[in-house]
């Protein structure tokens, strides 16, 4: 029997709460948490999504409250700065961390008045804000990130029962957590001491605090995936909840353009190439290889251009074989329906 999202959440609807969900990143880092927000709102809570400014129309179309977090992630991923980082160029610390500094300040402003904060893997600064406000917080993720011996970090398809491998698996989470903290330790401790007026966290991170405030001492975790896909590890604490997938069903609203219907009406079903938020310095090269592969295999293809603008160089003679749906066109078609 299908379990409704609101029935599986550990936030009891005994009274209306002002909940802020902090999430940053691309569309894939936002949409599942909008579904979570819809579920929370359905049981009576007041939910605000705090995310990048360019996602405001997407959030508001679900009748959710919106608070801006600095930065247009689409512009950033398409920027020369990111391409320089991908190329391995070393930047000065201020230039490298400028966006995060802005996000910290805007997140602090967005959370004012919140009674509960839910933060996501790319917005772990929500922990520090919740501590300062003295409110409960939850960590929410669509990937398993709680330490376990069952599988290693991001290797949830490789389950083991070997005692030594279990130890290595568990340690992989602690290592990643430590490395992440070291990367941002100076910046986050500065945010704690200067903006939040909190003491800095120790060198090894929050797990090694001598005294942890009650509201952030044991943080419940919400996992937006199915236990039928990733079984819940037995060594996880009881405050790690696997709630099921967080989906927004928009299929009934989508109206495909007539050109796409004609393309799909041909005898051979096409392959679909989707690139989401991935960007690259030369999308025309990737487009060329996709088209050539389709020619050699005598296949048709649909390219979802995404933020990388893949497919823009498909020429007229190849248009019978390849159909390109640009990022803006796909979004506007759903929105206008």
pTM of this structure: 0.82
Kindly report each contact of residues 52-57 with a partner whose C-beta sits within 8 Å and lies 24 or more positions away, as own/partner.
Answer: 52/24, 55/27, 55/30, 57/335
Are 206 and 235 in the same domain?
Answer: yes
Could you give the angle at the alpha carbon of 103 between the alpha carbons of 48 and 55, nearest 5°? 50
Residue 127 domain flag:
yes
**How many residues appear in the chain?**
337
Beta strands in the chain (DSSP E): 18-22, 46-52, 65-69, 116-119, 137-141, 221-223, 240-242, 271-274, 301-304, 322-325
The DSSP code for 269 is P
Distances (CA, A) of 90 to 76, 87, 95, 148: 17, 9, 10, 34
Q: How far apart are CA 221 and CA 142, in angstroms?
A: 11
Q: Total domain count for the chain?
A: 2
Residue 101 domain flag:
yes
CATH of the domain at 29: 3.40.50.2000
Residue 285 CB neighbour total at 10 angstroms: 12
Instruction: Select the more confidently predicted residue: 263 or 240.
Output: 240
The DSSP code for 194 is I
* pLDDT per position as a tens digit, 107-158: 999 999 999 999 999 999 999 999 999 999 999 999 999 999 999 999 998 9
Q: How far apart are CA 74 and CA 24, in angstroms?
A: 11
Task: Residue 23: name the closest of 50, 54, 62 by CA.
Answer: 50
Dig out the tokens for 53 from the structure.
Answer: 């400014």
Among the three residues 223, 242, 261, which one is the final residue of a domain in this structure? 242
Residue 247 domain flag:
no
Distance of CA 328 to the CA centre of its chain: 20
Q: Is 170 helix (H, G, I), strand (E, B) or coil?
A: helix
Dig out the tokens for 92 from the structure.
Answer: 């000065």
What is the pLDDT at residue 12? 54
Is 237 within 8 Å of 10 (Cβ atoms)?
A: no
Q: What share of the chain in percent tops pLDDT 70? A: 84
Task: Residue 166: name the closest of 143, 188, 149, 186 by CA.
Answer: 149
Are 228 and 310 in the same domain?
Answer: no
Are 171 and 148 in the same domain?
Answer: yes
Residue 296 domain flag:
yes
Its domain, for residue 283, covers 253-336
pLDDT band at 267 (very low <50, low <70, confident <90, very high): low
Are 236 and 268 in the same domain?
Answer: no
Residue 51 domain flag:
yes
Are 187 and 271 in the same domain?
Answer: no
* pLDDT per position as a tens digit, 18-38: 999 999 988 889 999 999 999
Distance of CA 265 to the CA centre of its chain: 35
Are 77 and 146 in the same domain?
Answer: yes
* pLDDT per position as a tens digit, 154-178: 999 899 999 999 999 999 999 999 9
Are 228 and 277 in the same domain?
Answer: no
Task: Residue 323: name the closest of 300, 295, 290, 298 by CA.
Answer: 300
Are 221 and 277 in the same domain?
Answer: no
Are 176 and 269 in the same domain?
Answer: no
Are 223 and 120 in the same domain?
Answer: yes
Are 272 and 208 in the same domain?
Answer: no
């Amino acid at each position: 029997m299908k379990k409704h999202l609101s029935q599986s959440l550990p936030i009891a609807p005994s009274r209306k709460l002002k909940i802020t969900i902090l999430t940053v990143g691309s569309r894939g880092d936002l949409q599942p948490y909008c579904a979570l927000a819809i579920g929370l709102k359905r049981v009576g809570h007041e939910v605000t999504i705090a995310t990048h400014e360019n996602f405001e129309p997407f959030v508001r179309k679900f009748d959710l409250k919106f608070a801006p977090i600095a930065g247009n992630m689409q512009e950033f991923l398409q920027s020369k700065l990111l391409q320089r980082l991908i190329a391995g160029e070393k930047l000065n610390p201020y230039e490298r961390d400028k966006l995060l500094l802005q996000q910290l300040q805007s997140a602090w402003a967005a959370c004012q008045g919140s009674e509960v904060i839910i933060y996501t893997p790319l917005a772990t600064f929500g922990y520090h804000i919740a501590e300062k406000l003295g409110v409960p917080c939850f960590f929410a993720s669509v990937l398993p990130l709680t330490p376990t011996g069952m599988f290693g970090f991001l290797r949830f398809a490789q389950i083991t029962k070997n005692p030594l491998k279990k130890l290595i698996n568990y340690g992989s989470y602690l290592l990643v957590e430590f490395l992440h903290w070291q990367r941002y330790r100076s910046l986050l401790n500065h945010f704690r001491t200067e903006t939040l007026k909190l003491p800095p966290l120790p060198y090894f991170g929050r797990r090694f605090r001598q005294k942890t405030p009650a509201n952030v001492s044991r943080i419940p975790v919400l996992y937006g995936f199915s236990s039928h896909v990733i079984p819940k590890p037995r060594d996880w604490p009881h405050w790690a909840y696997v709630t099921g997938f967080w989906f927004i069903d928009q299929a009934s609203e989508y109206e495909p353009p007539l050109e796409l219907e004609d393309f799909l009406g041909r005898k051979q079903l096409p392959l679909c190439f989707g690139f989401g938020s991935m960007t690259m310095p030369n999308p025309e090269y990737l487009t060329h290889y996709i088209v050539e592969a389709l020619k050699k295999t005598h296949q048709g293809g649909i390219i979802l251009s995404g933020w990388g603008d893949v497919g823009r160089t498909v020429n007229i003679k190849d248009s019978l074989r390849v159909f390109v749906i640009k990022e803006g066109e796909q979004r506007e078609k759903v929105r206008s329906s």
